[in-house]
Structure 1
Amino acid sequence: MESQATYHQLLDALAWQVELGVDCAMAETPVNRYELPATETRSPAPMPAAAGADPARPGASPARAAAPVKQPEVDTVGIARAAASAAADLDALKAAMTAYDHCELKRGARNLVFSDGLPAARVMIVGEAPGRDEDREGRPFVGPAGQMLDRMFDAIGLGRANEAAPLYITNVMPWRPPQNRDPKPEEMAMMLPFLERHVALVDPDLIVLMGNIACVAGLGKRGITRLRGQWGQAFGKPALPMFHPAYLLRTPAAKREAWADLLSLQARLEGLG
């Protein structure tokens, strides 16, 4: 009778669980979810033998690791100087700059920005580096800054397409720096031989250094608000630092000083005959 009572008790308990919604038995024995599992003790894995160690000799010391081979440093400035010196004309210089692969700016730029205007010009303008518009078109000083520059020099009778009184325009850097940041000193150093050769091939009477970066490249100085309007020597030529047209667009009050510098340039040209 005891087993029969037990059977009915179990049957009633099962019916009660079904009524509560239990429809699946997960295990034959109950599981205590609050009980922590027993930690399994594992023996530590054997340490791998060092490279060069002799497994037959337990006390043998591992062989000394070979020192990494130091790669020779590339003389990026020397390579640039050799390539620039070998250029006999402007086309060869442009080809040498196009083939030069040691400046990282080249990898992020769309186009090499070489020059604009007429190489026979008496005045050579050296700008800083291409911006977005220049990078897209492959010419220096286009877009709003280029339009400002054209208006400035038109006022004294000079222009990049004016055969009677032409301008010739280039930049310190032929490739656009990311986000229009200033070129790094090492980037400028490796491109300086190309700029020096550029000036030598064009052989202008006067140079205009537009902005701080051009002053650093040509004069070894920066501080355009202090340098502007003061004649100096850059690449063996008389050079006049001036405000960059982009700065004049942001600071219209500085146009007065820019006009004085243009008049100084005009007087210097007339004095040379």
Structure 2
Amino acid sequence: MESALDYWRARALLDWQIEIGADEAILDAPLDRYTLTDARPAVAPTPGAATAASAPVRIEEPDPVALATEAARAAPDLDALAAAMERFEHCDLRRGARSFVFSGGRAGARVTLLLDPPRRDEDRAGTPVAGPAGRLLEQMLAAIGLSVDAPDMERAVHMVPVLPWRVPGDRAPDPGDLAMMRPFLDRHVELADPEILVVMGSVACAALMKGGGLHRLRGRWGDLMGRPALPIFSPAHLIANPAAKREAWADLLALKTRLDGART
């Protein structure tokens, strides 16, 4: 004689049916689907209730962009901005990332690099650029007299990713997440107040620049947040496409020329 069907056995059987694709229970009696209609069954009115149908109650969802804008504008400095971003609960990326990557280098430098979101190496290190891409970036900057760690603000560089959290699987970020976090990025640039923005990477370029993708815009000066902006290839792209280093070198020279011209 079979034992009684307890809770855990019933749960296991139900899970198994879901796994094999069962999505509807079988009734005790046959169901004639040809006689079904879309009409909602009549419900007897509650005694004392109004006869007119009540309007459904609509709950307004908060606008995450508006909330981000309010939080960003309230931050008086970069430390307060970082704290506001880290506790901002409306971006789901924060739940799957290991690190909150706010910035790198030196705030107040003449140049701010606006970077693609953190990938695996950056998420582990908690920095905007890490691993082989980080080493290549240092070489690129050193070739034109700049450095992430330079004590001299004339030679220093500030780095800010367009999203502070890694996107699962390093896939392309959702436009909604980019739009949600954009007010924080705008405020970050406002507070850091660089002379020049370098938009480094295809995701950053697509999110911030108008007129096409990175391959079309790279090397062409534009305007972003009221500042001159130069889109260029990211170190990760150059590692995967070494032939693009020639174009990247030309873009770095254009950046150096702009910086030198501003000094004179």
Counterpart contact for 2:206–2:214, Cα < 8 Å: no
Quote the residue 1:22 is aligned against: none
Q: Give yes or no for the alignment of 1:271 onto 2:264.
A: no
What is the distance in 2 between the residues matched to 1:234 and 1:269? 17
Unaligned runs of 5+ in 2: 1-28, 30-40
| Structure 1 moving runs of 4+ over 6 Å | 63-67
Q: Partners in 2 of 1:53 and 1:226 — Cα distance?
A: 65
* 1:245 alignment counterpart: 235
Q: Which residue pairs with 2:251 in the alignment?
A: 261
Residue of structure 2 aligned with 1:126, choices 114, 117, 124: 114
| Contact 2:206–2:213 under 8 Å retained in 1 | no
Equivalent-residue separation in structure 1 for 2:234 and 2:87 (angstroms): 29
Preserved CA contact (<8 Å) 1:149 1:245? yes
The one-letter amino acid of 2:252's match is: L
Identity %: 51
Further displaced range: 255-264 or 130-139 = 130-139
Change (3 A) 1:69 1:104: same
Matches within 5 A, 1:178-189: 178-189=168-179
Tell me how far 1:251 sits from its aligned partner: 0.5
Partner Cα separation in structure 2 for residue 221 and residue 66 of structure 1: 50
Q: Bigger radius of gyration, 1 or 2?
A: 1
RMSD of Structure 2 on Structure 1 (CA): 2.0
Q: Distance in 2 between matches of 1:241 and 1:53?
A: 65
Please identify, of 256-265 and 147-156, the stretch whose mean Cα deviation from structure 2 is larger.
Answer: 147-156
Q: Deviations over 1:118-175 (max 9, x none)?
A: 1121110000100011112221011111111111101111111011211100110111
Aligned partner of 1:108 among 63, 75, 96: 96
TM-score of the two chains, using structure 1 as the length reference: 0.75
Distance 1:50 1:215 in 2: 56
SS in 2 for 1:254: helix
List alignment gaps of at least 5 residues for structure 1: 1-41, 43-48, 55-62
Q: TM-score, normalised by structure 2?
A: 0.78
- Give 1:249 deviation, angstroms: 0.3
**How many residues are treated as equivalent by the alignment?**
219
CA separation in 1, counterparts of 2:42 and 2:186?
Answer: 56
